[in-house]
Chain A
Amino acid sequence: MKKQLLIIPFIIFLFILLTFFYLLAIERNPSELPSNLLDKKIPKFETESLLKNERFISAKEFGKEKILVNFFATWCQPCRTEHTYIKRFSKEKGIRIIGINYKDNPKKAVEWLRKLGNPYSDVPVDKNGRIAIDWGVYGIPETFVINSNGIIKYRHIGPVTKKIYKKINLLISDIE
C-alpha cells in the first residue's frame, strides 16, 4: 500500500513535465494575447484626417461594410514590411482599409504614403496614442477586421505575413 502511494508524486511530476513539453513544442507566440475587444463594437473616436480636410468621425465610417483597420507609423520598420500585403488587400480584395497613423510626424507620414503607395481610404491621426489605447493596441503594426455591423471579428498583432495575409483573406470572405 505504502509503496503504491509513493508512485503518485512521480506520476504527477511526469504529467507536469509532459504539459510543459507540449506547451513548448506547439507553435505558439507567448507575446500574442487575446483581444478583449473581439466580438465587440469598435471604440468610437473622432480625430483629424491626415490626407483630407475634414475630421474623421468613426460613427460615420463603420457599420456599413467590412473594413480593415491598420495601425501604422513611419518609424516602425515592420509596418514598411507588411505594407505590400496591406496594398494587396485593397487591390485584390477591394476592401476598405482605414490606416490609423500612430504617434507620427504628419509630414513624414504623407511622404511615406506617397513613396510606398496609399492603400488607405482614410488616415485618421492618433497623435498621442489615445485612440490606440482605446483599441487595446500595445505593439504596432496591428490589424483589425471589422464586419459590416461595426463589430471587431479578428485582431492580428505584428506585421501581416504571407500566412496571415491568407488567413485574413479567408476571414474577409467568411464574415458578413
Chain B
Amino acid sequence: MIKKKFIIIISICLVHFFLNNVQAVEPDEILKNQKQELRARDISKNIRCMVCQNQSIDESNAPLAKDLRILIREKIKEGKNNDEIYEFLTDRYGDFILLNPPFKLNTLVLWFFPFIFFGIGIFIIFFHNKKSKQN
C-alpha cells in the first residue's frame, strides 16, 4: 500500500518535471538548420513575453510571443548575430524585454546589493561571535 502511494507521488513529480520543460514553439516555426534553431531557442529563453511578463517568449502562447519567435528566427537566417538581435529588441521594447537585467549604471544597486548585504551579515556574525567569546 505504501509502495503504491510512493509510486503515485513519484509519477506526479515526474509529470510536473516534464511539464516545466514544455515550450510553446510550434512545429511550423522550427528552423531546418538545427544549429540555428538551437540559437533561436537560446535567445527566446532570455526574452520576456511583454504580454505575460513573467514568462519567456519560449514558453508563452501569446500571439506577440509567437511573432517575436518568428522574427528572431528570420534575423538568424539573415545572418544577424545574437548581440544584433538583442539590440534590435531592446531598441523597441527597452531593457525590460531582457529577462536578465544588463549590467548598467542604473542597475548597479540591483547587482551589488546582495553582496553588500552578505558582507553585512558576515560582519554581524563575526562581531557577535567575538563579543560572546569575550563574555
Answer whether A and B are interacting partners.
yes
Chain A residues in the interface with B (C-beta under 8 A): 2, 5, 31, 33-37, 43, 103, 128-130, 133-136, 138-139
**Could you say which residues of chain B place their CB within 8 Å of the CB of A135?**
92
| Partner among B63, B71, B92, B127 whose Cβ is within 8 Å of the Cβ of A136 | B92
Other A-B contacts than A2-B131, A36-B93, A129-B64, 20 sampled, CB-CB below 8 A, are: A5-B127, A31-B53, A33-B50, A33-B94, A33-B96, A34-B94, A35-B94, A36-B90, A36-B92, A103-B63, A128-B67, A129-B67, A133-B92, A135-B92, A136-B94, A138-B51, A138-B64, A138-B93, A139-B50, A139-B51
A128 to B64, CA, bound (A): 10
A-B pair number, CB within 8 angstroms: 40
Q: How far is the CB of B51 from chain A (nearest CB, A)?
A: 6
Q: Does A133 lie within 8 Å of B68, measured CB to CB?
A: yes
Q: Does A133 lie within 8 Å of B71, measured CB to CB?
A: yes
Q: How far is the CB of A172 from chain B (nearest CB, A)?
A: 25
A128 to B93, CA, bound (A): 18
**Could you say which residues of chain A place their CB within 8 Å of the CB of B127?**
5
A33 to B92, CA, bound (A): 12
Q: Is the C-beta of B110 less than 8 angstroms from some C-beta in chain A?
A: no
What are 6 residue pairs bridging A and B, where the CB atoms are less than 8 Å apart in the complex?
A2-B131, A5-B124, A5-B127, A37-B92, A133-B68, A139-B50
Chain B interface residue count, CB cutoff 8 Å, equals: 18
A139 to B62, CA, bound (A): 11
Q: How far is the CB of A74 from chain B (nearest CB, A)?
A: 15
Nearest residue in B to A138 (C-beta to C-beta)? B50
Interface 1/0s, chain B 113-128, versus A by CB < 8 A? 0000000000010011
Q: Is the C-beta of B91 less than 8 angstroms from some C-beta in chain A?
A: yes
Chain B residues in the interface with A (C-beta under 8 A): 50-51, 53, 63-64, 67-68, 71, 90-94, 96, 124, 127-128, 131
**Could you say which residues of chain B place their CB within 8 Å of the CB of A139?**
50-51, 64
A103 to B67, CA, bound (A): 11
A138 to B91, CA, bound (A): 14
Given contacts A133-B71, A138-B50, contact A36 B91 (CB under 8 A): yes
**Could you say which residues of chain A place their CB within 8 Å of the CB of B51?**
138-139
A5 to B127, CA, bound (A): 10
**Could you say which residues of chain A place their CB within 8 Å of the CB of B64?**
129, 138-139
Q: How far is the CB of B75 from chain A (nearest CB, A)?
A: 12
**Could you say which residues of chain B place their CB within 8 Å of the CB of A103?**
63
A43 to B92, CA, bound (A): 9
A2 to B135, CA, bound (A): 12
Q: How far is the CB of B126 from chain A (nearest CB, A)?
A: 12
**Could you say which residues of chain B place their CB within 8 Å of the CB of A31?**
53
A34 to B68, CA, bound (A): 20
**Could you say which residues of chain A place their CB within 8 Å of the CB of B91?**
36
